[in-house]
Amino acid sequence: MGYCYSGGLLCCDICDDTGGVRKHRCPFGWCPSIAICPKCKREHPEYLTKAYHREHGNCEENSLRFKRQKEKELQLLNEGKLLRRSALQHKTKTGWRIKVIFRGLFREGKEQITRAFWMAPRTYRAIELGAPATVEDYKALGKVTRARNADIYNAEKYAEWATI
Ligand SMILES: [Zn+2]
Ligand SMILES: [Zn+2]
């Protein structure tokens, strides 16, 4: 989200006026900071409350979920698991296939382990985006074939063309 400036001065997100406008952080550190002038801050103190952010941006729940996901990711990486990092859909003679790239922990002085696997779109979508997903998770959900090449754009023998 961008901020509005007038004559080099930050505008208030509520009334558009400039002068003494300050950015205020979300109490849960989730949504973008809101720019508010002293007058609106006085008249609308509710914009800076936890209750407002809970209700309007679902900020508390989102930030907690994000934190839990990051903790889970780190735990899995420390266990030596590889996590889903990117994917590209390739059109093949028999339908669509997804090439999914998984990466391990980044260790100083060592190369980060990268592996690529092919799977059906149905299998790929079985785990929601944003959630940590390991190769093992996907193997439990459907057929997963190790790709020969870890380059996401390399369709190998399967694909005719690719789309993101
Ligand atoms: Zn204002
Ligand atoms: Zn918020």
* pLDDT tens-digit map of 22-51: 999 999 999 999 999 999 999 999 999 999
Cα dihedral across residues 45, 49, 51, 54: positive or negative: positive
Burial of 99 (0-12, 13-18, 19+ CB in 10 A): buried
The mean pLDDT of the chain is 91
pLDDT digits (tens, 9 = 90+) for 61-99: 999 999 999 999 999 999 999 999 999 999 887 889 999
CA of 63 to the centre of ligand 1 (A): 27
Q: Which residues of 100-139 are buried (b: 16+ CB within 10 A; e: fewer)?
A: bbbbbbeeeeeeeeeebbbbbeebbeeeeeeebbbbebbe
Q: Are residues 87 and 47 in the same domain?
A: no
CB of 105 closer than 8 Å to CB of 78:
yes
Task: Name the strand (E) or helix (H) holding 44.
Answer: none
The domain boundary, picked from 75, 108, 128, lies at 75
CA of 52 to the centre of ligand 1 (A): 17
pTM for the whole structure: 0.69
Q: Are residues 58 and 101 in the same domain?
A: no
CA of 35 to the centre of ligand 1 (A): 8
Ligand found nearest the CA of 54: 2
CA of 133 to the centre of ligand 1 (A): 44
pLDDT on residue 72? 95
CB of 133 closer than 8 Å to CB of 84:
yes
List, in order, residues 6 or more apart from 34 with CB less than 8 Å away. Answer: 13, 23, 24, 26, 47, 48
Q: Are residues 69 and 106 in the same domain?
A: no
Range of the domain at 139: 80-161
CB of 147 closer than 8 Å to CB of 99:
yes
Q: Are residues 108 and 125 in the same domain?
A: yes
Q: Using alpha carbons only, give the angle 20, 25, 46 rounded to the nearest 5 degrees.
A: 80
Q: Are residues 86 and 56 in the same domain?
A: no
